[in-house]
Amino acid sequence: MLSIVIENMGLLCSRNKHYNEADNEENAQTAEIERRIEQETKAEKHIQKLLLLGAGESGKSTIFKQIKLLFQTGFDEAELKSYISVIHANVYQTIKILYDGSKELAQNNRETYEISSENKEIGEKLSKIGGRLDYPRLTKELAQDIETLWKDAAIQETYARGNELQVPDCANYFMENLQRLADANYIPTKEDVLYARVRTTGVVEIQFSPVGESKKSGEVYRLFDVGGQRNERRKWIHLFEGVTAVIFCAAVSEYDQTLFEDESKNRMMETKELFDWVLKQPCFEKTSFMLFLNKFDIFEKKVLNVPLNVCEWFKDYQPVSTGKQEIEHAYE
């Protein structure tokens, strides 16, 4: 009996020793985790979280790329080359939109919008390429075909009504640079990359530090760019907590355009409603807001030809002058 008790006590002591070792190991792990959390919390205090919001096509992603150029190392050669297929796709998509648009408009006005007979075959060929999922690399021959079609009077008339057809803002820039884009050794420039249009899906993030005098503070900024189309907005919500500031982008040039995803909805009205909705979110009660009125260069060319009052929001607006004075007045 005595020997059994002693054996059991020995076993108990052995188990206690084993448990104590396990406890010590667990305590050490807990302490390490707590230490890391404390370090990360301290680091987080220096990180300012910025959120880029806005409707689709508001120019958010261009601002995102500009910040990468200004505050990071910019784009290396590999990154620049990765935009070749995007830029070529933009070219094919644009010429398809214009060709298909001219055919549609010609149903009511053949004299103005019907493609010249010598360019119809080119148009059909390019429209088929533009409808593919995989676009060929832009060659000199294809660039020449696109240039020929672009210069067709009917295409130019169609381009003048681009606001009705979802023609991208990069259209004129890329059409004016076709031969350079088609060069066998083509590497996109920074400007090409800024014009390149890729619809943002999901969330893209970059981290950067300020420059100049502000750099001494040791602050770091994390900028989040999210898809602006309606079906992408449900992905925003989880980003709303702990935001230092919201940068809301509104394209001032889009007062006469409709949404890509809903052609019955004016883009400016959608932007207004989205801005109202974002401002009412409880988590933004103490958040700073910056409103970026974007695409002024397009606006100043457009507003002298397309009155501001075509938009429901500005239906009572009356032009007061002409030229630069009217541009400034309409902008205000």
Alpha-carbon span 27 to 150, nearest angstrom:
72
Give phi and psi for 166, each to the nearest 5: 65, 35
Find the catalytic residue in 152, 158, 197, 254. 197
199-246 tens-digit pLDDT: 766 677 778 777 655 555 567 888 888 765 666 556 666 666 778 899
Question: Rounded to two decimals, what is the model's pTM?
Answer: 0.69
Mean pLDDT of 303-311: 91
Residue carrying structure tokens 């676009």:
135
Strand-pairing partners, residue 84, are: none
**What pLDDT score was predicted for residue 329?**
92
Among 48, 66, 112, 229, which one carries the catalytic annotation?
229
pLDDT of residue 71: 82
Q: Is 79 among the residues known to form the active site? A: no
Helices within 72-164 (DSSP H only): 77-82, 84-106, 110-113, 117-130, 140-150, 153-159
Which runs of consecutive H residues, i.e. helices, occur in the chain?
2-45, 60-71, 77-82, 84-106, 110-113, 117-130, 140-150, 153-159, 171-175, 178-181, 190-195, 267-279, 296-302, 323-331
Q: Which of 62, 93, 94, 158 is catalytic?
A: 62
Quick check: 38 pLDDT over 70?
A: no
Given a contact cutoff of 8 angstroms between Cβ atoms, the answer to whether 330 and 308 are in contact is yes
Q: Which of 189-193, 200-204, 300-304 shows the lowest per-residue confidence on average (mean pLDDT)?
A: 200-204
- Catalytic entry in 57, 192, 254, 270: 57
pLDDT at 236: 62
Active site residue 197: yes
Q: Which of 97-101, 117-121, 201-205, 307-311 has the lowest mean pLDDT?
A: 201-205
Active-site residue identified among 114, 225, 254, 270: 225
Q: What phi and psi values does residue 319 have, to the nearest 5 degrees? A: -55, 140
* pLDDT computed for residue 51 by the predictor: 87
Q: What is the pLDDT of residue 79?
A: 87
Residue in the block written with tokens 């060659």 = 139
**pLDDT band per the 50, 70, 90 thresholds, residue 22:** low
Q: Given a cut of 90, is residue 171 above it in pLDDT? A: yes
- Is 39 marked active-site? no
Number of neighbours of residue 102 by Cβ within 10 angstroms: 25
* 229 classed as catalytic: yes
Structure tokens at 303: 């507003």
Query: Is residue 134 annotated as part of the catalytic site, yes or no?
Result: no
Residue range 126-164, pLDDT digits in tens: 999 999 888 999 999 999 999 999 999 999 999 998 888
